[in-house]
Structure 1
Amino acid sequence: MNTHRRRAVWSAIAIAAAALVLGIATTGLMAASGAFHRTGPTSWRAQGGARCTAPAAKGSAVDVTVWDRGHMTGGPNRPAPNHGLPGWYGMGMMRLVAHPATVPAGKVTLRVVNAGTLTHEVIVLPLSAGRTAGERAIGSDGRVSETGSLGEASRNCGSGAGEGIASGAAAWTTVTLPPGRYELVCNVPGHYAAGMYTELDVAK
């Protein structure tokens, strides 16, 4: 194995290890924050807030958690420097996690809960062959193109598009997805660059 290839292998291992550590740390911080409580299979309640209940899933259910931790600079939802590190937003982290990560083709209900402190959203975008989540071009406005969007969950305690999911609220949307690969993204300015994306695979 030549030196260049050896370096590439070690770089890949280092990136994978960093991602694992970041995932474990994020999960622990979410659990420790105490900001959000699940009160049932489809109900959530912000600490000190009202219950928000999602309807029964149509087709397969995918539970999505959006989360952030850290200090903002320059005003609400304005991106702070992330120093090129996915998942870091200023001095904190931003994450978007979906479970399960693979569902059968057909109707899929995304049930999104905002366990963070900022406003978020989830948009479903097709993922081109040979591309991976997190590779989309980011415009000068801090957002990615939504061309080809198949659905959006951004309405507090409601279905479809709205003004964003507030801290402690839930939102949902039902989409029909053929087999393929999709990317779930938060397209609030600066959030995609901060690591708010994940892949959803739809099997035959």
Structure 2
Amino acid sequence: MVTAVALLAGSIAGTIAWSRNGGVSTSTGSSWSRSGGGMMGGRVSTRVPTLPGTTVQVTALDMGAMMGGRAGMRLAVDRTTVPAGTVSLVLGNSGFRTHELVVLPLAAGQQAGTRSVGSDRKVDETGSLGEASQTGGSGTGEGVQPGTAGWTTFDLPAGRYELVCNLPGHYAAGMYAELTVN
């Protein structure tokens, strides 16, 4: 038990330090590479082309089943505010599960993480602007596999947007982040 707690604490500390650096080390037009820490995930290495506009690095993290049987997941972004116009989102999957990135507008007064989850364990994607769910590519696919990246580009007007992983159960487990465009 003591060993498990020490291992968990070390993994959390490593992830906090890793997240402070944006969760990823990227370079468009070359390999996108990041090593995860401990139980939080593994290495992400995918060739990402040079993308237009402002690039936002989004990292999908999952901790697997922890003591007590609960899984912890989240999306970490390297910036929360970008200028209006062309915005490219790169999703790096440092977790152990397949993930995706769906972009949904937030209504005035609506907070990220407060959408209703349906019986399918997903949120309603009505109004979605698109997604990054193609392993090693742009746009829609079957999900971004562990250790890889996917990306997408939008022309975003000023507003607030929620970035979500909408695979069953992932949103409720904490996979959402807010992006403000001004």
Q: TM-score, normalised by structure 2?
A: 0.78
Superposed CA offset, 1:102-130 (max 9, x none): 00001100011000000000000000001
Aligned partner (choices 53, 71, 95) of residue 59 of structure 1: 53
Aligned partner (choices 65, 74, 87) of residue 71 of structure 1: 65
Aligned partner (choices 161, 176, 180) of residue 197 of structure 1: 176
1:44 maps onto 2:32 in alignment = yes
1:141 maps onto 2:120 in alignment = yes
State percent identity of aligned pairs. 53
Distance 1:201 1:180 in 2: 6
1:180–1:119 CA distance, 2 compared to 1 (3 A): same
Distance 1:179 1:170 in 2: 26
Q: TM-score, normalised by structure 1?
A: 0.70
Q: Is the 8 A contact 1:46 1:167 kept in 2?
A: no
Q: Is the 8 A contact 2:44 2:93 kept in 1?
A: no
Q: Is the 8 A contact 1:144 1:192 kept in 2?
A: yes
Distance 2:147 2:95 in 1: 7
Superposed CA offset, 1:58-106 (max 9, x none): 111100000101229xxxxxxxxxxxxxxxx943310101121100001
Distance 1:46 1:97 in 2: 13
1:29 maps onto 2:15 in alignment = yes
In structure 1, the partner of 2:98 is 119
In structure 2, the partner of 1:164 is 143
Distance 1:31 1:96 in 2: 15
Q: What is the number of equivalent residue pairs in this alignment?
A: 160
1:153 maps onto 2:132 in alignment = yes
1:163–1:30 CA distance, 2 compared to 1 (3 A): farther
Return the index of the structure with the highest Cα Rg: 1
Return 5+ residue gaps in structure 2 as ranges: 1-10, 36-41
Q: Is the 8 A contact 2:56 2:90 kept in 1?
A: yes
Q: Is the 8 A contact 1:45 1:168 kept in 2?
A: no
